[in-house]
Structure 1
Amino acid sequence: MKKRLFSIFTTIILIVGILTGCSKDTVTKSKNIKESKESTIKIGASLVPHSEILEFVKPKLKKKGINIEIVTIDDDGQLNQALEEKQIDANFFQHVPYLESISKERGYDFSVVGNIHIEPIGFYSKSIKTIEEIKKGSKIAIPDNPSNEYRALVLLESNGLIKLRPGIEDYSATPKDIVENPKNLEFVEVDSGQLTRVLQDVEGAVINTNRVLEANIDPETAIFREDATSPYSNVVVVRKEDENKEEIKKLVESLTSDDIKDFIKEKYGSAVIPAF
């Protein structure tokens, strides 16, 4: 009888051990499946406001199983090359006219997957307070890349300082395209990243808002700037073959939510305007 009881007891222990082992295996497999559902995407971005917007959206994407790694570099112009070379999965720093200009020049085959915000370009000065104070022969600094140079010249034209030749359709213009310059203004073409640094050497400069924010200049000090009708919304860009990836769709979905709209309005005021 004792032998029989011992045999039954041993069998029960073995069954419990097997069931426990199966349970552990199930938990481990479940954990591995959960971990495998998480993915990471690298996004190249300008420091301000782009990376700050991405930082805000990080927790929301984390809940959806997506980790984002934000890559910032001093020269934003390298972010398209990084995307082309698959060093990053998306970038968020540019507007469509710039993308079209640089893609034509370098043969990029990218897709725009989301319009996020507009940074109205503005005219800033350390020496004057109003447009009427701009003197004849004044030096005015403008961005030296094609799309932003055109954008700056159009802003100056809309405020009556110059007139461009008619028929410009490719978002590309230089001071050579000015047909009327009543104040005989002298235009200095400067790298976009250096415009805030040359302000003390010129009477005024047309500067992108992200550069102004990076330099801790109050955007409200702009003497004049674009309004909300600007076509230069900043966009999320990916390689064409990746535009339908689930991670990319969720990224754009999060970046165009009401939470982001409220965040942009609260943090940046009129300096950054939601484009969705």
Structure 2
Amino acid sequence: MKKNRIISLVTVAAAALVLAACGKSSSSNTITVGASPTPHAEILKHVQPELKKEGVNLKIKIFQDYVLPNKALASKDIDANYFQHVPFLDQWNQKNKGDLINAGKIHLEPIAVYSKKYKSLKDLPKGASVLVSSNVPDYGRVLQIFKDAGLITLKKGTDITNANFSDIATNKKDIKFKTGYEPKLMPQFYNNKQGDAEVINSNYAVQAGLNPTKDSIAIEKSSSPYANIIAIRPDEKNNKDIKKLVKALQSKSTQDWIKKHYKGTVLPAK
């Protein structure tokens, strides 16, 4: 009887060790992704249940600006981030001597021009002031919109993904592009009519209750190279959990959900 009791105790102890080991393994499958609240965090929340089935516990850390997410990723405070496009990432790496990389493109937030004074870009008067944020990697996107409208031309050989307002060759209406504003403040400037027109990123526009496809006077085309991506450190390149995350975000079901949920204000990446 005593011998059987000892065997039972050993069996229970062994089982406890197995459960502890399983618990430890499960916690190692947690990944933390930094994201802007809209639409990035919303899209991440959408794939959380699917990832849980795959054995991945996705934690989402919200950032309200474009400065901290890459710093947090580089310092290993988070495992990945989801808020930026490749031109922004390239500029950040160059400026900060970083080596963050693109793990996969997910969606496009078409940048758009808004105005409480005019109904189209062609209605803008001579010398009109257009307020643009301090986000330099977006300048090429802004220039492309005005180029498509026939209001400006660019210098020969200009690379739109690295373009600046100094690359304008001709400016038919002598439009004044005023830069240097915090991206998140652009909807406030629009509401206060501080310029003749304001350029607003879709995530901030949507947060402010604006619909880029309905409320803007001009919007970026869906063929834009500025798709938002999952960014990671090089040492995470073979991380299976991050690969599962990207796969879930790029799946047809998620892309269809993006189309339906955002009604054109956010587009699946092509």
Q: Compute the TM-score of the two structures, normalised by the length of structure 2.
A: 0.91
Report the counterpart of residue 193 of structure 1 in structure 2.
184
Does the CA contact (< 8 Å) of 2:141 and 2:160 recur in 1? no
The size of the alignment, in residue pairs, is: 264
What is the CA-CA distance between 1:19 and the residue it aligns to? 5.0
Q: Secondary structure at the match of 1:201?
A: coil
**Which has the higher mean CA deviation after the structures are superposed, 89-98 or 183-192?**
183-192
Q: Distance in 2 between matches of 1:174 and 1:146?
A: 8
CA distance in 2, matches of 1:125, 1:35: 55
Which secondary structure does the structure 1 equivalent of 2:232 belong to?
strand
Asked if 2 retains the 8 angstrom alpha-carbon contact of 1:97 and 1:232, the reply is yes
Aligned to 1:171: 161
Question: Residues of 2 paired with 1:26 and 1:60: CA distance?
Answer: 32
CA deviation after TM superposition for structure 1 residue 152, in Å: 0.8
1:52-201 pair list within 5 angstroms: 52-169=42-159, 171-189=161-179, 190-199=181-190, 200-201=193-194
SS in 2 for 1:232: coil
Contact 2:34-2:62 at 8 Å conserved across structures: yes
- 8 Å CA contact retained: 2:112, 2:201: yes
Match of 2:196 in 1: 203
SS of the residue aligned with 1:247? helix
**How far apart are residue 188 of structure 1 and its match?**
1.1
1:244 CA displacement: 0.6
Retained in 2: the 8 A contact 1:146–1:171? no
Query: TM-score w.r.t. structure 1 length?
Result: 0.89
**1:77 & 1:215 partners in 2: Cα distance?**
20
Cα shift readout 1:216-254 (whole Å, capped 9, x = no counterpart): 112221222122211111000110111111111111111
Q: Is the 8 A contact 1:37 1:65 kept in 2?
A: no
Query: Within the alignment, does 1:230 sit opposite 2:220 as a pair?
Result: no
Contact 1:45 1:76 in 2 (8 A): no
Q: How far did 1:73 drift?
A: 2.2
Change (3 A) 1:205 1:188: same
Which position in structure 2 is the counterpart of 1:5?
none
Instruction: Kindly provide the CA deviation profile for residues 107-152 of structure 1, in whole angstroms up to 9, marking residues without a partner as x.
Output: 1111211110011111111222223321112111123222101211
- CA displacement at 1:172 relative to structure 2: 2.7
SS of the residue corresponding to residue 171 of structure 1 reads helix
Greater gyration radius: 1
Over aligned residues, Cα RMSD in angstroms?
Answer: 1.8
Q: Which range is displaced more, 49-58 or 64-73?
A: 64-73
Give the gaps of 5 or more residues in structure 1. Answer: 1-10
Quick check: 202-211 or 165-174, which moved more? 165-174
Q: Aligned with 2:126: secondary structure?
A: coil
The question of whether the paired residues in 2 share the 8 Å contact of 1:140 and 1:186 is answered with: yes
Mean CA deviation greater in 42-51 or 146-155: 146-155
User: For residues 20 and 113 of structure 2, what CA distance do their matches in structure 1 show?
Assistant: 55
Answering whether residue 33 of structure 2 is matched by residue 28 of structure 1, we say no
Letter aligned with residue 273 of structure 1: L
Is the alpha carbon distance of 1:203 and 1:170 closer, same or farther for their aligned partners in structure 2, counting shifts above 3 Å?
closer
The partner residue of 2:205 within 183, 203, 212 is 212
Which has the larger displacement, 221-230 or 88-97? 221-230
**Aligned equivalents of 1:164, 1:233: Cα separation in 2:** 23
- Determine whether 1:273 maps to 2:261: no
State which drifts further: 170-179 or 138-147: 170-179
